[in-house]
Chain A
Amino acid sequence: MSTRVLIVGATSAIAEALARRYAAQGATLFLAARHTERAAAIADDLRVRGAAMVEVGAYDATVPDRAEALVAAAWEALGGLDVALIAHGSLPDQAACAASAALTRRELEVNLISVIDLLTPLASRMQAAGCGTLAVIGSVAGDRGRQSNYVYGTAKGALAIFLQGLAHRLAPAGVRVLTIKPGFVDTPMTAAFPKGPLWASPDRVARDIQRAIARGTHICYTPWFWRWIMLVIRLIPAAIFHRTQL
C-alpha cells in the first residue's frame, strides 16, 4: 500500500521537496496550505511525478480552531495517516517583537500553539491506530536563545520540549515523533545571497528528513554538521556568549 502523507504548510520549499520524494514513490498525499491555489499547482506537479493521489485542503495557522477539522479531513481522505509533516511557520522580525508583546504573542501562536493544536488530535488518532510518524520542522534556533531571533527560538525550543514529551508518551503505541532541525536552507527566498558551505538545498534537507522518518530517529539535524555546531554554541559560557553578536 502506498504511504499516506499529510503535509501542513505544503507550499514551503522544504515541504514541497519532501512531497516530490514521496510522490516519486507513489505515495498518496494531503496538502494543507493557506494558498490553496498554489497548493493545487504543487498537487498537479506531484501527480505528474507519480503520486497515487493528491488532495488539497485549506489551512491558516493564524485562524484558531481549524486544526481538528483539518486533521479529520486528511484522515478521512487518505483513510488514515502514516506520516504527518508540520512545516508551516513564520520568521518574525525580532526587533519588532522586542517592542510589542502583542506581536510576540502572535508569532508564538503561529510557530508554537498552532503546531500543538495540530499535534494533539494527530497524536490521539495515531495512538489509537498504533502506528505513524509525526515529523515537525523545528530549527537550530531553538537550541539556544540568541539576541538576534529569540522569539522564533522560543517557539522552536518549546516545541522541541513538547515533542520530546509527546515522543515519550507515544513510544509504547509504536508512534514515532521526529524533531527536524535545519540550518541555512537555500530556498528561492534566499536565492540572491551568496552561498557558503553551510547552506543546503531544500532537496538535501528533504532527503535527510525522509531518511530520518524511515529510520525512526527522534532528532534530525540537517545537514548533519549542525548537531556539532549547535553543541558548541550551547556550550559557550554566558559570560563569553553575551559579548557576541550571534
Chain B
Amino acid sequence: MAALTPYQSWGRYPRALPAGVRSLRFRDQPLPRVAGSVLPFGNGRSYGDSCLNNGGTLLATRGLDRFLAFDPATGLIRCEAGVLLSEILSLTVGGGWFLPVTPGTRYVTVGGAIANDVHGKNHHLAGTFGHQVIRLELLRSSGERLRCGPTERADLFAATIGGLGLTGLITWAEFRLKRIANPYVQVERTRFDHLDGFFELALGADREHEYTVAWIDCLASGRHLGRGIYLAGNHAAPTCEDAPRPPGRAPSIPFDPPLSLIATPTLRAFNEIFYRKQPRRPTNGVEHFAPFFYPLDGIGQWNRIYGPKGFLQYQSVVPMSAGRDATRAMLACIAGSGQGSFLSVLKVFGDRPAAGLLSFPRPGVTLALDFPYKGRATLRLFETLDTLVAQAGGAIYPAKDAHMSPRLFAAGYPRVDEFRRHLDPAFSSSFWRRVTGAVA
C-alpha cells in the first residue's frame, strides 16, 4: 500500500502514489515539463480516483487562489481555478451575492467544480455549475492558452465542463453570482414514510422551491423502505427576522482512528433517531445557509470516521421512467446488505440539457450513499447496484466513483468518443485509465 501523502482523495480509497507533485502559484507559469502524465489536483474532495494520478504528476492548484475581478453591482466574478467556493462565499455573502449552484461541500475549488460539473439542490431550476460559467481559460500542454465559453470554442468548452481535468489546466473562470437578501434560508422539512412519499413530495415541492433534497434512512426495509425527510428551501425574504446566528468554528476529527467508527448497529440507531427526531407534521423555519447547504462541512475531516481503509461513495442517476422501480430495488438491496451510510441522499434532477460532454446530471432521480470499504462485501454490493443502474439506463458519478467498469462508463457516457478528441495528450488520471483501459 502506498504511504499516506497529503494527496489522497476524500474517500481515501483507492490509494495512489503520484510520481511527483508540482505546485502552481501563478497563472502565467507554464506547465511543468515532466515525464509521464499530469493531472490538476484542487482541494481533494473528489471521493474516488478521478483526482488521482498513480505514477504520474499532480499539478497542485490551490496556489492559484486569486480573484481577478468582482463587480458588486452585477455579481459577475472572475477568479483563478484554485479558489475555494468557501472563499467566494466569505467575500460576497455580506454584500448579498451567493453561488448560483453549490455542491454539498464548500471546500471545493472552482476548477474542480467545473471539471466535475457539480450540481446542487437547485439542479431542477439552475442546472449545474458548468451552466453558470461564462468564460474560462484553458492552458494546454502545447503551451496554448485558449479562452472558451458557450459561444467561444464551444466544443472544447463542452469537453472541459465535466471533463475531469483531462482537457488541460483551467487557470481562471468567470461566472455570475445570484442575488440574495440575507444569509438565511427558509426551510420546510417533511417526513415521509416510504419511497412513494418521496416521489409525491418531489413532484409538488420542486415547482415551489428553489432547493430540494431528501435524506433517507437507507437501512429501513419492508413498508418503511425509502423513508426519510424531505427538505425544501428558498432564500429568505428581505424582511426575515429572528435570524439564527451563523455556526461557530467547526469541530474536527483530530486524528485517524485505527479502525472504522461506522458499524451497522450505530448506523441503524443513528438513522432511526435522525428519522424519529423529525416531527410527523411538516416544519418550517429559517436557517443560516451554512448548515442547510453544507451539513457535513460542520465536522472537519469527517472522512476520518471511516478509518484507515477509507470509504466509497455510490452516486447514480436513473431516468424517471425507471426511477421509482430502480430506486426501490437499489434501496432494498442496500438495506438487505446491512451496509450503508449516515446520510443517504435522494433528489430529482431537472431536465435541462447537460452543459458538458461527460456531465453526470441528467433528467431522472439520483441516489447517493457512502459505504465503509469492507473489501469484497462492498464490491459485491456495488456489482449488484451496477446491474440495476445499467438495466435502468442510468449512470454513475465519476467524481464519486472508485469502482465502475469500463462497460458501465461507456453506457452511461455515450459522448465519450466525442470527448476523446479534446483530451490533452499530456493529461491523464487513475480514473480515466481505469474506465477506458488507456495506458499512462
State yes or no: do A and B come from one complex.
Answer: yes
- Chain A residues packing against B (C-beta within 8 Å): 11, 13, 35, 37-38, 41-42, 44-45, 48-49, 188-189, 191-192, 194-195
Residue of A nearest to B77 (CB): A48
- Across the interface, which residues of A come within 8 angstroms of B67, CB to CB? 44-45, 48-49
B134 to chain A, nearest CB (A): 17
Q: Fill in one digit per residue for B15-34: 1 if any A CB lies within 8 Å of its CB, else 0.
A: 00000110111111000000
Residue of B nearest to A193 (CB): B6
Q: Fill in one digit per residue for B392-424: 1 if any A CB lies within 8 Å of its CB, else 0.
A: 000000000000000000000000000000000
- Across the interface, which residues of A come within 8 angstroms of B63, CB to CB? 188, 191
- Per the bound structure, the CA–CA distance linking A192 and B91 in Å amounts to 29
B181 to chain A, nearest CB (A): 22
- Across the interface, which residues of B come within 8 angstroms of A41, CB to CB? 26-28, 66, 68
Q: Fill in one digit per residue for B78-116: 1 if any A CB lies within 8 Å of its CB, else 0.
A: 000000000000010000000000000000000000000
* Cβ–Cβ contact B66 & A44, under 8 A: yes
A199 to chain B, nearest CB (A): 11
A103 to chain B, nearest CB (A): 26
* Cβ–Cβ contact A38 & B28, under 8 A: yes
For the complex, is B236 an interface residue (Cβ under 8 Å from A)? Answer: no
Q: Top 5 closest A-B pairs, CB basis?
A: A188-B63, A45-B66, A48-B67, A188-B23, A192-B21
Q: Kindly identify which residue among A11, A42, A48, A195 contacts B6, using a CB–CB cutoff of 8 Å.
A: A195
- Per the bound structure, the CA–CA distance linking A48 and B60 in Å amounts to 24
- Across the interface, which residues of B come within 8 angstroms of A189, CB to CB? 23, 25
Q: Kindly identify which residue among B20, B24, B27 contacts A192, using a CB–CB cutoff of 8 Å.
A: B20
With A38-B26, A41-B26, A41-B28 as given contacts, are A191 and B69 in contact (CB-CB < 8 Å)?
Answer: no
* Cβ–Cβ contact B69 & A44, under 8 A: yes
Q: 20 A-B contacts, Cβ less than 8 Å apart?
A: A37-B28, A41-B27, A41-B28, A41-B68, A42-B66, A44-B68, A44-B69, A48-B68, A48-B69, A49-B91, A188-B23, A188-B24, A188-B25, A191-B6, A191-B21, A191-B62, A191-B63, A192-B20, A192-B23, A192-B60
- Per the bound structure, the CA–CA distance linking A5 and B246 in Å amounts to 33
- Per the bound structure, the CA–CA distance linking A49 and B72 in Å amounts to 12
A10 to chain B, nearest CB (A): 12
- Across the interface, which residues of A come within 8 angstroms of B6, CB to CB? 191-192, 194-195
- Per the bound structure, the CA–CA distance linking A189 and B32 in Å amounts to 13
- Across the interface, which residues of A come within 8 angstroms of B20, CB to CB? 192
For the complex, is B151 an interface residue (Cβ under 8 Å from A)? Answer: no
For the complex, is B292 an interface residue (Cβ under 8 Å from A)? Answer: no
Residue of A nearest to B20 (CB): A192
A135 to chain B, nearest CB (A): 23
- Across the interface, which residues of A come within 8 angstroms of B23, CB to CB? 188-189, 191-192
B20 to chain A, nearest CB (A): 7
- Per the bound structure, the CA–CA distance linking A192 and B59 in Å amounts to 11
* Cβ–Cβ contact A45 & B68, under 8 A: yes
For the complex, is B294 an interface residue (Cβ under 8 Å from A)? Answer: no
* Cβ–Cβ contact A48 & B70, under 8 A: yes
- Per the bound structure, the CA–CA distance linking A42 and B80 in Å amounts to 11
For the complex, is B239 an interface residue (Cβ under 8 Å from A)? Answer: no
- Per the bound structure, the CA–CA distance linking A44 and B66 in Å amounts to 8
Q: Which of B294-310 contact A (CB under 8 A)?
A: none
Residue of A nearest to B26 (CB): A38
Residue of A nearest to B28 (CB): A37
B334 to chain A, nearest CB (A): 37
Other than the known A48-B69, A191-B60, A192-B6, what 17 A-B pairs have Cβ atoms closer than 8 Å?
A13-B25, A38-B26, A38-B28, A41-B27, A41-B68, A42-B66, A44-B66, A45-B68, A49-B91, A188-B63, A189-B23, A189-B25, A191-B63, A192-B20, A192-B21, A192-B23, A192-B60
- Per the bound structure, the CA–CA distance linking A213 and B152 in Å amounts to 48
B349 to chain A, nearest CB (A): 33
Residue of B nearest to A35 (CB): B26
